[in-house]
């Protein structure tokens, strides 16, 4: 069903040259994890693996000090 032709071997050789032998296992692992997450999302599962949102403190709980200068009206200069 899946045969390796000359084109497949050429592509594998180019990938090996680009990424090197040290990064290929990490690349394969990340591609496999991505495919698993995609399949889980397509099947409707995978909601448990989503981390909870980061809690942001409520803005009303924080104390802020407003510093405003008094507003004075400037009189137009007479010419």
Judged by DSSP in three states, 6 sits in helix
Half-sphere CA count of 50, side-chain side, radius 13 A: 10
Whether 65 is covered by a domain: the verdict is no
What is the pLDDT at residue 36?
92
Whether 71 is covered by a domain: the verdict is no
Whether 33 is covered by a domain: the verdict is yes
Whether 4 is covered by a domain: the verdict is no
**Tally of domains in the chain:** 1
- The model's pTM is 0.41
Whether 36 is covered by a domain: the verdict is yes
Average pLDDT, the chain: 76
CA 69 – CA 77 distance, rounded (Å): 23
- What is the residue whose two structure tokens read 């400037």? 74
Residue 37 structural domain = 21-46
**Over the stretch 24-35, which tens digit does the pLDDT of each residue have?**
888 889 999 999
**What whole-number percentage of the chain has pLDDT above 90?**
22
């Amino acid at each position: 069903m899946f045969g390796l032709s000359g084109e497949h071997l050429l592509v594998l050789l180019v990938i090996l040259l680009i990424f090197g032998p040290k990064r290929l296992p990490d690349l394969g692992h990340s591609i496999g994890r991505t495919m698993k997450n995609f399949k889980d999302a397509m099947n409707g599962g995978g909601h448990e693996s989503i981390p909870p949102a980061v809690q942001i403190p409520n803005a009303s709980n924080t104390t802020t000090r407003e510093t405003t200068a008094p507003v004075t009206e400037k009189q137009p200069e007479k010419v």
